[in-house]
């Protein structure tokens, strides 16, 4: 059991707000992108991936976002719908904005990078007036993604969504998801990330992301102090990720929890955090213990990093359970 109280009278399990984009993943991998000749198209963007993950695990999921009025935008909406994700609050841009692109370069399993196209991106054009209060009102969990704070009017749409979510008693999850592009400065990022984090029940980020948020403070790099600060606001769980050293979840009762890590035949590191978040939140929504939920997220992450894509590789509950069993049986070992 964990301390989060989900409002079981609500009709939807999970809604995310933020980035919907396209990943163009190199087909010829283990080489620089200059030498890659073909790319495969997938739906991408951290909150999109998490939502797809939740849907794959059987959660009733929806999305608040904006897509370009072009072939890429239509592909995204189609893909979400095919994954049983409600798109009634996914708006189509009418100003000529473009779908954000991420070309992935996989030089080796540990040397991956991304070439981003984020100029005039449709997802950042989502306006406060396009967020439907009744849509937010019906969901048990609302996840906001930090990159949606990077520009106006999407930034204001997120703050309004936070207000709606608090007003209607949703559990609010903040996936920090800091990407330097599209932000003007680290100071700007820190200001808005802190304003948003004050209003959230669950905050998930890497140590580096929390450091960035604390740039106006004296400390820190001290996980306990970092988490403690947010318990003075609304937070009940703060998860601080330390890459392959694993994650620690702090809870308002003063406890901390470490999640199990699972082996993987790693192809690339992209998508690890998104599948982790989906698995972890799924566990919490089942009422599982924190550490059990973390382990479920960890196994989901290992599945995704063993695959070519992020969104398309999101596992079902059975797949995660089988993966855990096989790891426990020694059938899967790290590459």
Question: Which residues form the interface with a copy of itself (CB under 8 A)?
Answer: 24, 27, 32-34, 36-41, 70-72, 74-75, 78, 98, 101, 103, 105, 115, 117, 119-120, 127-129, 133, 152-153, 156, 159-160, 163, 184-185, 187-188, 190-192, 194-195, 216
Tokens of 281: 């939140």
d(Cα 324, Cα 7) in Å, to the nearest integer? 30
Give least dist CB 310 to a copy of itself, A.
15
Give whichever of 195 and 317 is closer to a copy of itself, judged by the CB atom: 195
Residue-level length of the chain:
335
Is the Cβ of residue 146 or residue 283 nearer to a copy of itself in the bound state? Answer: 146
Nearer to a copy of itself, 90 or 101 (CB): 101
Please give the structure tokens belonging to residue 30.
Answer: 């283990």
Euclidean distance between the first and final Cα of the chain, in Å? 34
DSSP state of 140: E
Pick 121 or 327: Cβ nearer a copy of itself: 121
**Closest distance to a copy of itself from the beta carbon of 195 (Å):** 6
Q: How many CB atoms lie within 10 A of CB 165?
A: 26
Q: Are 335 and 264 in contact (CB under 8 A)?
A: yes
| Residue 109 burial by Cβ neighbours in a 10 Å radius (0-12, 13-18, 19+) | middle
The smaller minimum CB distance to a copy of itself, of residues 128 and 169, is found at 128
d(C-alpha 289, C-alpha 269), whole Å: 27
217 vs 318, beta carbon nearer a copy of itself: 217
Nearer to a copy of itself, 75 or 288 (CB): 75
Per the structure block, which two tokens stand in for 238?
Answer: 């703060």
Q: Please report, for residues 24, 44, 86, 149, 216, the alpha-carbon distance to residue 182 in angstroms, rounded to integers and kept in the order given.
A: 19, 17, 28, 10, 21
The minimum distance between CB 146 and a copy of itself, in angstroms, equals 15
Tell me the closest approach of the beta carbon of residue 300 to a copy of itself, in angstroms. Answer: 24
Contacts of 311 (CB under 8 A, 6+ apart): 23, 42, 43, 44, 48, 49, 52, 79, 271
Q: How far is the CB of 27 from a copy of itself (least distance, A)?
A: 7
DSSP three-state, residue 202: strand
304 by DSSP, 3-state: which?
helix
**What's the closest the beta carbon of residue 47 comes to a copy of itself, in angstroms?**
20
Q: With the CA atoms of 284, 20, 323 and 316 taken in that order, what torsion angle do they form, in degrees rounded to the nearest 10?
A: 70
In the complex with a copy of itself, which residue's Cβ is closer, 33 or 260? 33
Shortest reach from residue 145's CB to a copy of itself, in Å: 17
Minimum distance, C-beta of residue 143 to a copy of itself, in the bound complex (Å): 19
């Amino acid at each position: 059991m964990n301390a989060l109280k989900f409002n079981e009278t609500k009709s939807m399990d999970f809604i995310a707000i933020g980035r919907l984009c396209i990943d163009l993943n190199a087909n010829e991998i283990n080489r620089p992108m200059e030498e890659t000749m073909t790319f495969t198209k997938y739906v991408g963007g951290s909150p999109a991936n998490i939502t797809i993950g939740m849907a794959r695990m059987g959660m009733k999921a929806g999305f608040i976002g904006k897509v370009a009025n072009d072939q890429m935008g239509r592909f995204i909406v189609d893909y979400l719908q095919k994954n049983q994700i409600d798109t009634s609050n996914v708006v189509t841009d009418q100003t000529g904005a473009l779908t954000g692109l991420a070309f992935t370069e996989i030089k080796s399993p540990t040397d991956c990078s991304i070439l981003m196209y984020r100029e005039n991106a449709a997802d950042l054009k989502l306006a406060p007036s396009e967020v439907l209060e009744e849509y937010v009102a019906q969901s048990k969990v609302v996840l906001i993604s930090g990159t949606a704070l990077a520009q106006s009017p999407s930034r204001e749409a997120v703050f309004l969504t936070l207000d709606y979510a608090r007003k209607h008693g949703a559990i609010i999850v903040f996936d920090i998801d800091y990407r330097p592009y599209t932000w003007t400065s680290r100071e700007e990022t820190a200001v808005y990330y802190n304003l948003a984090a004050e209003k959230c029940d669950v905050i998930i980020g890497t140590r580096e992301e929390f450091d960035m948020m604390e740039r106006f403070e004296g400390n820190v790099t001290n996980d306990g102090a970092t988490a403690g600060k947010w318990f003075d606001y609304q937070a009940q769980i703060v998860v601080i990720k330390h890459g392959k050293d694993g994650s620690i979840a702090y809870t308002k009762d003063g406890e901390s929890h470490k999640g199990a890590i699972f082996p993987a035949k790693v192809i690339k590191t992209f998508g690890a955090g998104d599948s982790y978040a989906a698995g972890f939140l799924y566990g919490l929504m089942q009422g599982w213990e924190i550490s059990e939920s973390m382990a479920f997220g960890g196994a989901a992450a290992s599945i995704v990093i063993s695959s070519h894509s992020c969104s398309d590789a999101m596992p079902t509950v059975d797949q995660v359970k089988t993966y855990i069993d096989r790891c426990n049986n020694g059938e899967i070992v790290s590459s």
